[in-house]
Chains A and B, each alone.
Chain A
Amino acid sequence: MTTLSHSLPAAHDSAPVELLRRRLPWALLALLAVAFGLVPWLGNDYWLNAILIPFLVLSLAGLGLNLLTGYTGQTSVGAAGFMAVGAFATYGLLLRVPGLPLPLALAGGGAIAAGVGFLFGIPSNRIKGFYLMVTTLAAQFFLEWVFTKFPWFYNYASSGTISAPRLEVFGHDLHSPTGRYLLTLSCVVLLTWVAVNLVRSQTGRNWMAIRDMDTAAAVIGIPVDRYKRLAFAVSSFYLGVAGALWAFAYLGTASAGSFDINRSFQILFIIIIGGMGSIAGNFVGAAFISLLPLLLNYAGQNLLGGSVDAGQLQNLQKIIFGVLIIAFLIKEPEGLIRLLGNLRERLARWPLRF
């Protein structure tokens, strides 16, 4: 079964998550045990609130975008717009449907986002490649406008923000940092498992065929339009849930401005740097994007603080960030996950060279 897979580039199909599971299932289980058991117990407010939760939510968002751009090849720069739909939809459901449990509200928000994604995916049957980016930008700006303009969405609050409703599951109150962390972690683990199975199924293979050459895919009988729209819908579902978690589990409040074009670019960076067409790559990419600025900030403060003006330090960090992005794109187009894979292989053979 796996003997002929050398014809496909390994990074696209076999994420290290799968390899781990096939060869070393206990490593994955250990990771999950640490994440669920040890971290809430050890973690302090700062680590949970400001580092782990955003990292998890961004990985989920990256996963959603990866399904569309990395696996199906449809370039999308509108990820944040769909996140906004999910956030506002979940808020609306929790506000207006009394007694709706949180998991159902999240799923409902995701479903509404999936519907919107489906609509904006309809042009993809005629518009391809780079031009599709424009469609998604239209979605981004339009959705941002809708959630600013119509007060119904944020319950007529004068600040234009939606704030977290009561977060509780089966009677447990989740608004503490640990509670929110566990909520986010459970969602991410569940949806990642679904995504892994999705890309290994016929659906995933069809998506990858469309990505590689959609004319040929149509020739061999894959209903290209239907799968493209399905990709948009599923991707938007993931993005919607990620948006709801971003708004409620991380920030506590959100407005249309939290989901602007910079957020879309941020998520696109995550999948480019992490590795398009790879599930584990999203986690690596999200770690890079969310942690690197912090690391640079701390390093700057502790190494150079006082001698270099704070504003210049910020500009320096921006330059370093840009340079690192370009360097990664040059060095390894298939993303960090490929780099890490190479490193692992090199370690496995050490001290031999090849």
Chain B
Amino acid sequence: MTFFLETLIGGLLAGTMYSLVAIGFVLIYKASGVFNFAQGAMLLFAALTFVSLQEQGLPFALALLLTVAVMALGAIAIERAVLRPLVNRSQITLFMATLGLSFVIEGLAQGLMGAQVRALDLGIDDVPLFIGEVMVSQFDLVAAATAAVLVTVLALLFNSTRIGVSLRAVADDTRAALSVGIDLNRIWQIVWAAAGIVGLVAGLLWGARQGVQFSLSLVVLKALPVLIIGGFTSIGGAIVGGLIVGAAENLAEVYIGAHIGGGITPWFAYVLALAFLYIRPAGLFGERAIERV
């Protein structure tokens, strides 16, 4: 029983790491309808920038601030160069554009900051804690706390600030928002910058877990089932989806995987997402699309 609880709790906590990545996607999709495959590359770029700045000797807070500035500048550049010319194109075209963008960002990241793996030390020791008999990881708890803080901040942003309300307006009906006078380009820049910052947080946590290097950008493939289950347009859904995927994956690997050869983590989350799609095609918290002839 302890083992089951441990697996469950460990899975839930691992899921919050996935949610952190998924939140970045949700932000962009909500405001501009683009599934940003380059989010993984942005994560990598942010983490690499931070680590490189730290290596130059800058203190933690200053490096963080500078990285945020870099991500914001990058967001503006992306909006100008990629989003504006491609406005109104089909979803698949935009997705392909972000795929091309991910190549550019990865090439820049490796070109500017080198390919060697770097350790990222956030000062959190990854040692086991014991709650009763159940073993939990200290790092995972910190990650979960960070996710909670992030979600609260974003919720506050969306509900209480002018920009947040404008974002929701744009997500709801782009044309109506335009007609009310909301500057679409500015909103997109802000959203991509926000996604970049969320990517930075996720990148720092993932980087501390496994070192900052190229395969950091592959976490995006784990975020997709989370988005399917939670819905593309809901941040709360991203959290819930992450928890479900994390728990299910861990439990399945231990209990089902052992019988069919193990190593089932690559596809299990996707098959789960597939099952969810059958029951709820728009995800748990997503918006149902209405088709008109």
Contacts and interface: CB of A to CB of B under 8 A. Distances in A.
Interface of A: 69, 75, 123, 126-131, 134-135, 137-138, 141-142, 144-145, 148-150, 213, 215-216, 219, 261, 265, 268-269, 272, 311-312, 315-319, 321-326, 329-330, 333
Contacts of B111: 312, 315-316, 319
B267 A326 contact: no
Contacts of B60: none
A149 B263 CA distance: 9
A148 B278 CA distance: 28
Interface residues on B, range: 35 or more
Contacts of A75: 92
Contacts of B105: 322
B107 A316 contact: yes
B30 to A, nearest CB: 14
Given A134-B270, A134-B277, A142-B270, A329 B107 contact: no
Contacts, number: 125
Interface string B264-292: 10110011011001100100000001011
Contacts of A325: 96-97, 99-100, 103
Given A134-B228, A315-B110, A322-B107, A333 B271 contact: no
A337 to B, nearest CB: 15
Contacts of A326: 81-82, 97, 100-101, 104
Nearest to B89: A333
Given A135-B274, A142-B271, A215-B291, 6 more contacts: A131-B277, A134-B273, A269-B99, A311-B110, A315-B111, A330-B86
Contact of B267 (A141, A150, A318): A141
B266 A311 contact: no
Nearest to A309: B111
Interface string B82-112: 1001100111110111011111111110110
Interface in B145-173: none
A232 to B, nearest CB: 15
Contacts of B291: 215
Interface in B100-153: 100-108, 110-111, 115
A249 B273 CA distance: 36
A125 to B, nearest CB: 10
B277 A269 contact: no
Contact of A272 (B81, B93, B263, B277): B93
Contacts of A149: 260-261, 263
Contacts of B93: 272, 329, 333
Q: Dominant SS at the B interface?
A: helix
Nearest to A73: B92
A136 to B, nearest CB: 10
A319 B107 contact: yes
A145 B266 CA distance: 8
B192 interface: no
Contacts of A128: 281
B100 A322 contact: yes
Nearest to B90: A333
A70 B53 CA distance: 45
B5 interface: no
A322 B228 contact: no
A75 to B, nearest CB: 6
A66 B273 CA distance: 25
Nearest to A217: B293
Given A318-B106, A322-B102, A134 B274 contact: yes
28 contacts: A126-B281, A131-B281, A134-B224, A134-B274, A134-B277, A144-B266, A145-B267, A149-B261, A149-B263, A213-B293, A268-B96, A269-B99, A272-B93, A272-B96, A311-B110, A312-B111, A315-B107, A315-B110, A315-B111, A322-B103, A322-B105, A325-B97, A325-B103, A329-B89, A329-B96, A329-B97, A330-B86, A330-B97
A75 B91 CA distance: 10
Interface string B45-87: 0000000000000000000000000000000000001100110
A149 B111 CA distance: 36
A240 to B, nearest CB: 20
A148 B281 CA distance: 31
A123 B102 contact: no
Contacts of B102: 322
Nearest to B229: A134
Contact of B225 (A134, A148, A322): A134
Nearest to A328: B100
A211 B233 CA distance: 25
A34 B267 CA distance: 45
B107 A126 contact: no
Contacts of B278: 123, 126-127
Nearest to A312: B111
B256 interface: no
Contacts of B100: 321-326, 329
Contacts of A215: 291-293
B99 A145 contact: no
B176 interface: no
A145 B99 CA distance: 24
A129 B263 contact: no
A16 to B, nearest CB: 22
